[in-house]
Structure 1
């Protein structure tokens, strides 16, 4: 299934059934909302409405294969609920928290979750805020998609993880360059050397590229980490 395949492609529909199982109907409803009010609210582009499965939902849902059973997952900068909502639909065993700073996006997420009747928590806030770290830190996994370059992302995400927890950052063509460039900054925030993995090869084409960083220690920020840090916008 190519990335630009139409959403009525037979292999795409088959993959959706395999990933979501008896929750496929809910996934279909989420896709419809994403293509409708998700577009009008500016959460996805107007030209993406007819390809929400191939460009958004499936390539997020396959992240589930990297997450252990029963994990608490914090989806940072969740936006349209990506990848958090597809993960919640594909993996009902996971405890999902969607972290989003913008009120209009939070309102949209809450309305979608109410309609789908999904037990997912929505928190309005930024990852670097003290309250967020105090209330929602200690996650097993932090996910992020199209949030920030890896150096900044690690500075926000790693304090939200327990020691041994992992950042799973969905990345595009910049992934390899970011892994090479930002390794020292990631180390300064207490992270392992970042590595690239690909997942979902039997369901999405091309596979989803994920940068994985484990929180190895609670570390003070090095001068390099301080230079590359910043605030979410």
Structure 2
């Protein structure tokens, strides 16, 4: 606690633009790096098993592959962010590298893909249970089309925040992130990549639960 206060007084007394480095920042960064590394390793293992095992070449495993791929992208991006932020915290400096905004964009995009991947899984399970005779929906081509659609949606909406500079470097966190203020771009991005897929998952599983309960 005393070290933190001393650091804050030193920063203000020298009129430094460096953001305040709290005592819990560095352990949090290390924890984020470890979790990201675990996600990367597990995703690679799952993807490797799915690729080499022919028994996994099914439609449900296609949806699982989509989830693992999104987790891999998210894990790699968060890992690079964690390493970059940790370096800034250790050096007690603010440095915005050229890839800062790109990493923030990839995180928001990967989160959208990751959330939509669970939406597709829930929708597939619902159709299998309620409408098993509709084979078109269960086809590889149909599910692949849905996956491509979710990727397009997840990529487009966060990209609108880059030209408008809604994603910017924040000194306090030493990373680039979306500005927390009312904005059409931010609201649409949050709705399409977070609220929409999660709400659909809740609605689909609620419908599935009621269907199973009535059987």
Scaled by the length of structure 2, what TM-score is found?
0.23
Q: Tell which structure's C-alpha radius of gyration is larger.
A: 2
Greater share of residues in helix? 2
Scaled by the length of structure 1, what TM-score is found?
0.22
Greater RCO structure (CA 8 Å; 6+ sep): 2
